[in-house]
Structure 1
Amino acid sequence: MASRGLFITFEGGDGSGKTTQAELLDAWLRERGETTLRSREPGGTEVGEQLREIVLHHRGEISSRAEALLYAADRAQHIDTKIRPALERGEIVLQDRYIDSSLAYQGAGRALGVDEVRALSVWASGDLWPNLTILLDLDPDSARERLDSARTRFDRLEAEKSAFHGRVRTVFLELAAAEPERFLVLDATLSIEDLATRIRERVSALLAA
């Protein structure tokens, strides 16, 4: 877990509303006088943005293991150069996707094995885990409808078939069930305001502790 600051990650399938809720929580925390850092994976650093373009938008074939290693490289750079320094300064880090996404997308979606991808991710991150992971749960069909109405360009993962996204969702829920103290699981079909309220309640409890 984070040593001085607070590390909060947002997880869930594509189209579940992670970015919207991260933005709302960031604004609420800043209104309270907290110092925050918003980031994302893949990306979040200069090196990471280049890796993001490769891993999400490269038109040629990328093998599943190569994909997992690219995500791990992004994570290692991100944690070492941006996230750990922010936490050591006592900041609240709000991050869109982290290790749980690798376990769901590469471990289950790409069928590389959750345990194998976990070992790689733990090594890449230096075994840094969030204080809180907010999982916005949405069934793949509803997520696809949201994406279809909002996007004209789909990345390599968004473009995968329903069965892939079904495996991803299953593992997200299994991870949450295994670590209920770390996860806050929310129904992503709730209103934006209702989701924001529930997230603030959980974060308020963390801040008070």
Structure 2
Amino acid sequence: MSPTSDPRPVFVVLDGVDGCGKSTQAERLCDALRREGREPLHLREPGSTGAGERLRAILLDPEVELGAGAETLMFAAARRQLLDELVRPALIAGRDVVCERGNPATYAYQAVAGELDPDAVLALLDGWCRSPAPDLELVLSIDVDEAAARRGGEHDRMEQKGLEFQRRVAKGLADYVQRRDRARSLDAAGSTDEVAQRVLQEVRRARG
């Protein structure tokens, strides 16, 4: 598929457990879209806006204590600002948007792993963080232990919660995929090139 045959912009969210490779795959996807003559906007959550980056610093600071409820509201605020400030204008201008993390992460990390009411969290996200809605929410599925081995180095506040927490996150992500029509699970095992090709195929399907 080329931009000539289908100029419609696509909004893609890449998500998964920590260490799943979403940042690498977001970069690879943007590279592939550029080769097709498109101008993708690469974003990250929380972040990419002034407000989002400040909230990110608080949310990921190991010295800051936050409950899952407060985290949910802060992630939602950062996302709402991102959608208004960057995502909607880009789509209106005909640009594809590739975002690292989104509603799947909030559902998995805060609702399921954080033991909040999943339906209440979904209601919040649907009310405040669903317009414009992604064309595709792609969850990169990988063994939690393998993902942990990939990370190495220093861990932020979320990553410090341990493997059992990440296993609950993985369960939450799988549950989210079952509950959402535009959410898909993608096998993230294999080489970077192999996974990148799978991601691109899913994006092309989502574009229609």
Q: How high is the TM-score relative to the length of structure 1?
A: 0.90
Question: Retained in 1: the 8 A contact 2:87–2:132?
Answer: no
Aligned to 1:188: 188
1:69 maps to which residue?
73
Q: 1:65 to 1:178 in 2, by over 3 A?
A: closer
Task: Tell me, yes or no, if structure 1 residue 38 matches structure 2 residue 42.
Answer: yes
1:10 CA drift (Å): 0.2
**Percent identity for Structure 1 against Structure 2:** 36
Structure 2 distance, partners of 1:185, 1:91, is 24
1:55 to 2:84 alignment? no
State the partner residue of 2:179: 178
**Separation in 2 of the partners of 1:184 and 1:123?**
22
1:108 aligns with 2:112: yes
How many residues end up aligned between the 2 structures? 201
Q: Is the 8 A contact 1:122 1:128 kept in 2?
A: no
Unpaired stretches in structure 2, ≥5 consecutive residues: 1-7
Q: Aligned-pair distance for 1:126?
A: 4.7
What is the DSSP-based 3-state SS (H/G/I as helix, E as strand, rest coil) of the residue aligned with 1:159? helix
Letter aligned with residue 133 of structure 1 = E
Q: Distance in 2 between matches of 1:184 and 1:108?
A: 18
After TM superposition, what 4+ stretches of structure 1 lie above 6 angstroms from structure 2? Answer: none
Task: Give 1:133's aligned residue.
Answer: 137
- Quote the Cα distance in structure 2 between the aligned partners of 1:64 and 1:172: 16
RMSD over aligned Cα, in angstroms?
A: 1.6
Q: Does 1:6 align with 2:6?
A: no
Q: Does 1:25 align with 2:26?
A: no
Flag structure 1 segments of 5+ consecutive residues without an equivalent. Answer: none
Amino acid at match of 1:71: F
Cα distance between partner residues in 2 of 1:69 and 1:206 = 29
1:130-149 per-position Cα deviation (integer Å, ceiling 9, x unaligned): 1112211122211111112x
Tell me, yes or no, if the aligned pair for 2:19 and 2:150 is still in contact at 8 Å: yes
Deviations 1:124-183 (A, max 9, x none): 2254321112211122211111112xx2x211111112221111101111222334x523
> Cα gap change, 1:127/1:113 in structure 2, threshold over 3 Å: closer, same or farther?
farther
